[in-house]
Chains A and B, each alone.
Chain A
Amino acid sequence: MKNLQYKDIIRRYGILIGLIGLIIAFSILSERFFTISNMLIVMRQTSIVAFLGIGMTFVILGAGIDLSVGSVLAFSGAVAAGVMQSRGIFLGILAGLAVGTALGAFSGLVITKLRIPAFIATLAMMAIARGGTLVYTDGRPVTGLPSSFAFLGRGYIGDIPFPIILMLVTFVLAYIILKLTRFGRYVYATGGNIDAARASGIKVDNIIISNFAISGFLSGLTGIVLSSRLNSAQPTAGMGYELDAIAAVVLGGTNLFGGEGELWGTLIGAFIMGILNNGLNMINVSSFYQQVVKGIVILIAVTVAQSGKK
């Protein structure tokens, strides 16, 4: 019986224990790590992975995968910046979000209507959107953005960086959608057993398209926040971010085959990624080794999580 309880705790809270363990470890290794100002920096960095991870959670819960988030982010950020130069902040942001959503929805359409596996469809989208970004920007950063646009990425409300607030708002909204709405239930059901979901009267194609649209929308949002933080839209923005986003979801315990998983897990997964980046910098681990450490931590975390499952 005792054994069972241990496993239950690991299964439920393993990832949270891991997060706390990491925080304690870095606090011991560096006295500058566990300070309010550094924690806020960590959270601001985390927000980027969290936005993408939240979108990715919808997609993966629906038994899909989205490899295009990094490229869609870059394209949306570039379009937002471009439109903003001539037509102002509001329309710029709107355009960026619209581009992200449209590209995501397009992937969803390809997957459902042409019956192409999500892995392939979004791999193609990854190339298309990256190429589109380079075409649109001519390979150069888009600069000269309105100064008040900086608030999104660098502003504060009180002492709290705005991206953190945006992250929490996004999380709460996504949580409500997943847990309290019909659509959220349908996402779980579709990912858990698409045939049974269809036979229960669910229009499963619409659910899948919506999941990818949500992922696209949040990629667009991420692109805009990043552009604001860097005061320019970089054509190479978001390279490899899809892997961080997927890692956050997987660390959070969501089943890669769909149907099972919790949004708060993704948030903690994103924090772990953020803390690793920040903490390893703090203790002066070279950026080359950081990649290695990140990979190993993911392996350990998933191994421990699985040990709690059976």
Chain B
Amino acid sequence: MNKIALEFINISKSFPGVKALKKVSIKIKQAKVHAIVGENGAGKSTLMKIAVGELLRDTGTIKVFDREAQINSPSDGYHYGISLIHQEFSLVPTLDVVQNIFLGREITKGPLSFLDSNQMYKRTEEILDFLKMFHLDPHLKIEDLTIAQKQVVEIAKALSLNSKIIIMDEPSAALTLEETHRLFEVVRELKSRGVTTLFISHRIEEIFEIADEVSILRDGELILTKQVAQIDRKQVINNMVGRSLEFVFPPKAKQKKEAKVILEVKKITKERQFSDISFQLKEGEIIGLAGLVGSGRSEVALSLFGLNHLDKGEIFLQGKTVKINSPFEAIRNGLALLPEDRRELGLVIVRNVLENLTLPDLYWDIARKYFIDLKKEISLAKGVQKELAIRFASLSQKVESLSGGNQQKVVVGKWLLTKPKILIMDEPTRGIDVGAKLEIYNIVNTLAKKGIGIIFISSEFSEILGVAHRILVMSEGRITKELDPKSTKEEDILKFATRKKVS
């Protein structure tokens, strides 16, 4: 029989105005992978933070290996052998891997307690050796690492603390498919050593790949805990959203036969990023640009939008050759970009919904002659709010406080106001919940019906198949294959997305 490693008993937590958790009780068995799933705002992250003491529960008990644990402050989790690996990393960017792993508990030697770098380096090597599927030089600074590597450093830190219970909050959100698989191998290895893993994820497929048990949270309540073998994908989704949501992609917008080519890209090249990319986009067409992270697809998107200068190649819009050297020129030419990282490039997170929605359009319409037409601004913002069903309390609410899905819709909305002819969407559904994803797909179709040409970039191949009229697969900076979604499976895309040489 498996021991219970971690037990939540009647945990409740309120924030001003919201009950985040309502009497949640879960038993987590030792040496198992236990997935916690739920929509955004379901209370997953809150529960995990309570487990390590980053948040204080209002009521309830936490037991670790059958003994009541006093977890009341951020360092308490460590004392009980629980580590939380955050979505946002808690690493110091300017320090190297070793320094980060031993931050705050450096190994010292001698009477003056000098740092024992050799010892720390050796310990780090041992741990990294265990994680050997990820290549990592312990002397690299954190700021020079990829997201996957940073995650490995966080895991290494947890291991160096001899954690018995490791909680991973959406570890795969920023990983490529391949990296995710490697991460799962690490999780399996940990499991074989008796480490218990709690795994929070949005990606339902992953639960079935890695988890032994799953707990579903909705609106702060535990809906069920089950063996993964006893539940299927549909049940998971239905329980997450609380309504029967048949997860089928909405029917694709029909393409007109006589649709004109609005964008043509000829052999564009950016050294060390991508080369010889050529394709055509017609009005109302949705091109799926598939590829793993690092395949160069996002860089192509940034180049089309003037944020990344091309070394070679030509871009034609409506048959005319154009040079796009800045987003300003891109917008003037009818382009819009939904960036991969909406918090970095898409939104001014500290400002309100209204200002974010109208920002790109001020110059072109709302404030053509220096002064802002406030009436027009508000009516346009309200119009787009209605069109996209963006949910917020008021236009003066900060975007910071919106859910991921609604933030993404604000970014879509701000571009719709500029009336683009071409919309580039880079990972538009990353980090948003199932319901919001479906809404984004519907929006994509509606826009295509209006004649907007869409470049839909994603590393979720099921989504590319469900959304695009035509698929271009990229690998190592080149287009390796064009596929017709009607006769393509996910595995086919993966095959070309991991291909080393051009076919």
Contacts and interface: CB of A to CB of B under 8 A. Distances in A.
A182 B370 contact: yes
A135 interface: no
B293 interface: no
Nearest to B358: A185
Interface in B330-360: 330-332, 337, 339, 344-351, 355, 359-360
B351 A195 contact: no
Interface residues of B, number: 30
B336 to A, nearest CB: 10
A173 B349 CA distance: 27
B370 A201 contact: no
B372 interface: yes
A4 B327 CA distance: 41
Interface residues of A, number: 25
A130 to B, nearest CB: 34
Most buried by B among A1, A185, A201, A202: A201
B371 A188 contact: no
A259 interface: yes
Interface in B452-467: none
A6 to B, nearest CB: 12
A259 B350 contact: yes
Contacts of A185: 355, 359, 362, 367, 372
Contact of A195 (B328, B344, B372): B344
Nearest to B16: A4
B370 A196 contact: no
B327 A201 contact: yes
A201 B350 contact: no
A197 B350 contact: no
Contact of B331 (A181, A186, A189, A201): A201
B328 A201 contact: yes
Contacts of B372: 180-182, 185
A21 to B, nearest CB: 27
Contacts of B337: 199
Contact of A255 (B331, B344, B350, B363): B350
Interface in A161-205: 180-183, 185-186, 188-189, 192-193, 195-203
B360 A196 contact: no
A201 B374 CA distance: 20
Contacts of A181: 367, 370-372
B355 A200 contact: no
Nearest to A3: B16
B61 to A, nearest CB: 26
Contact of B371 (A4, A182, A259): A182
Given A180-B372, A188-B355, A197 B363 contact: no
Contact of A189 (B330, B332, B351, B367): B351
24 contacts: A1-B16, A4-B16, A181-B371, A182-B371, A185-B359, A188-B351, A189-B355, A192-B350, A193-B344, A193-B347, A193-B350, A196-B346, A196-B348, A197-B359, A199-B327, A199-B337, A200-B360, A200-B414, A201-B327, A201-B363, A202-B359, A203-B328, A259-B351, A260-B350
